[in-house]
């Protein structure tokens, strides 16, 4: 099993604004907050790298963003302003359970139990015509069949579960 590596796309955090609530200000760059899904209270501290740019009052919470998600940098990456002090829910979260590669390039990913996210036409065709023909009731067997079909067709599979 491979270790999950975040691609810093920000998508998971763009929907966390309804769950992550700032409940108080503890001092400069220090807050009290609660994560509504796990009911964790945590005390985030803004990382030094973001202190000049972070303004809790100007965050995009009304758009659903986590209040600690920074706007994209010049490379289009989204960073957490309080990454060192995030709650366990965020630390353990994986947005995908598998990634599929072709020639070391991400060709797609598995979201949820059976949802393929991909722009790769060949991968989509394999998924529809082979992978999704296997019974899903035995999920472990389904995943093994998925890995075999994709590897037999030139894809590398990273499984994070």
| pLDDT at 59 > cutoff 80 | no
Where residue 1 falls among pLDDT bands split at 50, 70, 90? low
From CA 114, how far away is CA 135, in angstroms rounded?
11
Considering the domain architecture, whether residues 31 and 88 belong to the same structural domain is answered as yes
More confident position, 2 or 157: 157
pLDDT (0 to 100) of residue 54: 87
Q: At 88, is the secondary structure helix, strand, or coil?
A: helix
* Distance in angstroms (rounded) separating the CA atoms of residues 79 and 3: 20
pLDDT at res. 10? 86
Does one domain contain both 71 and 112? no
Residues 88 and 18 in one domain: yes
Is residue 22 classed as helix, strand or coil in its secondary structure?
A: strand
Q: Note the pLDDT tens digit of each residue in 93-121.
A: 877 788 899 998 999 989 878 989 999 99
CB-CB contact of 2 with 147 (8 Å): no
Domain of 70 in residue numbering reads as 13-92
151 and 118 fall within a common domain = yes
Could you tell me if 83 and 30 lie in one domain? yes
How does pLDDT run across 64-89, given as a tens digit for each residue? 899 999 998 999 999 999 999 999 98
Which range, of 25-29, 76-80, 110-114, 151-155, averages the lowest pLDDT? 110-114
Please report whether residue 34 resides in a domain. yes
On the question of pLDDT at 2 being above 70, the answer is no
């Amino acid at each position: 099993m491979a270790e999950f590596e975040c691609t810093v796309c920000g998508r998971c955090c763009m929907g966390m604004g309804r769950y992550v609530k700032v409940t108080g200000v503890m001092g400069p760059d220090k807050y009290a907050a609660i994560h509504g899904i796990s009911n964790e209270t945590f005390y985030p501290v803004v990382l030094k790298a973001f202190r000049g740019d972070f303004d809790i009052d100007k965050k995009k919470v009304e758009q659903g963003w986590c209040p600690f998600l920074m706007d994209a940098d010049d490379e289009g990456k989204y960073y957490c302003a309080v990454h060192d002090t995030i709650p366990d829910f965020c630390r353990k979260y994986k947005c995908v359970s598998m990634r599929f590669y072709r020639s070391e390039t991400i060709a797609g990913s598995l979201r949820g139990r059976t949802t393929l996210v991909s722009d790769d036409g060949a991968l989509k065709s394999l998924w529809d015509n082979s992978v999704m023909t296997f019974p899903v009731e035995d999920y472990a067997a389904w995943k093994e069949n998925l890995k075999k079909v994709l590897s037999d067709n030139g894809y590398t599979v990273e499984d994070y579960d």
